[in-house]
Amino acid sequence: MSSRSRAFGYTEEQMADAFLVKLKSRKGLPGLGRFNEVFRDVGCLQGTPDFIAVRKNRNRRIDQLDKDIGHVGPTILSLLKPKAARTLDYLISHCEYSRKSVVTHLNNLIKKGLVTKTKSNSFVQSVDFVNQAIELWAFELKLNNPKRAVFQAQQAKSYSEHSIIVVPPGQEKNYHRFAQTMERWGIGLATFDLCFANES
């Protein structure tokens, strides 16, 4: 994240700290509600989003899922496809975690029914995951540099159902020139006011 901006009086890091509190709060985000799990700065195949939030879809078969899919789980899920199987070596080479950590979390995802092991000892997303038993939300926080924000949000769409750019109030006007691109990729834009972050 970038250094302190004189225009705002706080850094992206400070903004992210306050946003994390809101993400994990009892009420969650206005208009979106609560998330089951929140992960910060998770290294994925396509970039490192500021936050990945996991929400269980109550209309799906969530009775097989536990609350915690581990800090490596979202990365593994982002690398897997419903039909194109990935080997263990592939997953390890594309994760920023140790072999032991990847194997442990992969087995955890298999137990939870989110990942299926094929006959050739490769791995695919399970039917439950494809049917969106859980939803992945990616949030990219930016004080400035909208071009970079849109690029990072595009990367996040390769593995998440929802990708949202979060900016301070008044900065949304800087994204008007990217409106068509954001609409094409299904990228959302939201504001977050640090001044009211602690309000319940």
pLDDT in tens, 11-23: 888 889 999 998 8
Say whether 73-130 and 12-56+133-196 share the same fold. no
- The pLDDT of 95-115, averaged and rounded, is 89
Report the percent of the chain where pLDDT is more than 90: 37
Confidence of residue 67 (pLDDT cuts 50, 70, 90): very low
- 109 dihedral zone (left: phi>0; alpha: psi -120 to 50; beta): alpha
Convert the pLDDT of each residue in 124-169 to its tens digit.
Answer: 988 766 655 577 899 999 998 999 999 999 988 887 889 999 999 9
CA distances from 197 to 15, 17, 27, 39, 194 (A): 9, 10, 12, 19, 5
Q: What percent of the chain has pLDDT over 70?
A: 80
Q: Contacts from 91-97 at CB under 8 Å and sequence distance 24+? A: 91/123, 94/45, 95/43, 96/43, 97/72
- The Cα 59–Cα 77 span in angstroms is 20
- Per-residue pLDDT at 104: 92
- Least confident window among 23-32, 54-63, 163-172, 188-197: 54-63
The pLDDT of residue 128: 64
If DSSP codes are grouped into helix, strand and coil, which group holds residue 198? coil
- Please give the Cα distance from 69 to 175 (Å, whole number): 34
What is the average pLDDT across 26-41?
A: 83
Give the start-to-end residue ranges of the domains of the chain.
12-56+133-196, 73-130
- Give the model's confidence band at 188: pLDDT under 50 very low, under 70 low, under 90 confident, else very high: very high
> In whole angstroms, how far apart are CA 134 and each of 33, 66, 87, 189?
15, 11, 23, 22
Region 73-130: CATH code? 1.10.10.10
**pLDDT for position 156:** 87
Q: Confidence band (pLDDT; 50, 70, 90) for 6?
A: low
3-state DSSP of 47-87: CCCCEEEEEECCCCCCCCCCCCCCCCHHHHHHHCCCCCCEC
Q: What is the C-alpha separation between 37 and 136, in angstroms, rounded?
A: 10
The arrangement of secondary structure in 12-56+133-196, i.e. its CATH architecture, is 3-Layer(aba) Sandwich (3.40)
Using alpha carbons, select from 133, 84, 82 the residue that is nearest to residue 112.
Answer: 133
d(CA 124, CA 80): 6
Asked if residue 118 has pLDDT above 60, the reply is: yes
